[in-house]
Amino acid sequence: MKKLTISGLSKTYSNGTTALKEVNLEVNQGMFGLLGPNGAGKSTLMRTIATLQSSDSGNIKFDSIDIQENQTKIKKKLGFLPQSFDFYPNLSAWDTLNYYAILKGITNHNERKNLVTEWLVKVNLYDQRKKRVGGFSGGMKQRLGIAQALIANPELVIVDEPTAGLDPKERNHFHNILSEIGEDKIVILSTHIVDDVSDLCTDMAIINQGQVILQGSPLAEVEKLTGRIWRKIIKKDELDWYSSEFEVISSHLYMGDIRVIVYSDSDLSGFELKTPDLEDVYFKTIPHQGDIVGGE
Ligand code: ADP
In single-letter form, the type of residue at position 281 comes to: V
Tell how far the Cα of 157 is from the centroid of ligand 1, in angstroms.
21
- C-alpha 88/C-alpha 287 separation (Å) is 42
C-alpha separations of 260 from 227, 272, 276, 284, 285 in Å: 16, 11, 13, 13, 16
- Say yes or no: 141 and 249 in one domain: no
Lay out the sheet containing 203-208: strands in order across: 78-81, 156-160, 186-191, 30-35, 203-208, 211-216
End position of a domain, from candidates 218, 251, 274? 218
- C-alpha 296/C-alpha 260 separation (Å) is 12
This model's pTM is above 0.85: yes
* Whether residue 35 has its Cβ less than 6 Å from ligand 1: no
In a domain? residue 281: yes
- Say yes or no: 126 and 241 in one domain: no
- Tens of pLDDT along the chain (296 residues) come to 889 999 999 999 999 999 999 999 999 999 999 999 999 999 999 999 999 999 999 999 999 899 999 998 898 899 999 887 789 999 999 999 999 999 999 999 999 999 999 999 999 999 999 999 999 988 889 889 999 999 999 999 999 987 777 788 888 888 888 888 877 899 999 998 898 899 899 999 999 999 999 999 999 999 999 999 999 999 999 999 999 999 999 999 989 999 999 999 999 999 999 999 999 999 999 976 556 665 55
- C-alpha 182/C-alpha 198 separation (Å) is 18
- Say yes or no: 52 and 184 in one domain: yes
The domain total for the chain is: 2
- Say yes or no: 150 and 177 in one domain: yes
- Say yes or no: 159 and 12 in one domain: yes
End position of a domain, from candidates 160, 195, 218? 218
- Say yes or no: 192 and 255 in one domain: no
Quick one: three-class SS letters along 132-171? EHHHCCHHHHHHHHHHHHHCCCCCEEEEECCCCCCCHHHH
CA-83 nearest atom, ligand 1: 2
In a domain? residue 294: no
Pick the residue whose CA is nearest to atom 5 on ligand 1.
41
- Say yes or no: 272 and 203 in one domain: no
* Whether residue 15 has its Cβ less than 6 Å from ligand 1: yes
- Say yes or no: 140 and 231 in one domain: no
CATH number for the domain harbouring residue 52: 3.40.50.300
- Say yes or no: 117 and 248 in one domain: no
- Say yes or no: 182 and 235 in one domain: no
Q: What angle separates helix 93-103 from helix 109-122, to the nearest 10 degrees?
A: 130
Residue 136 domain boundaries: 3-218
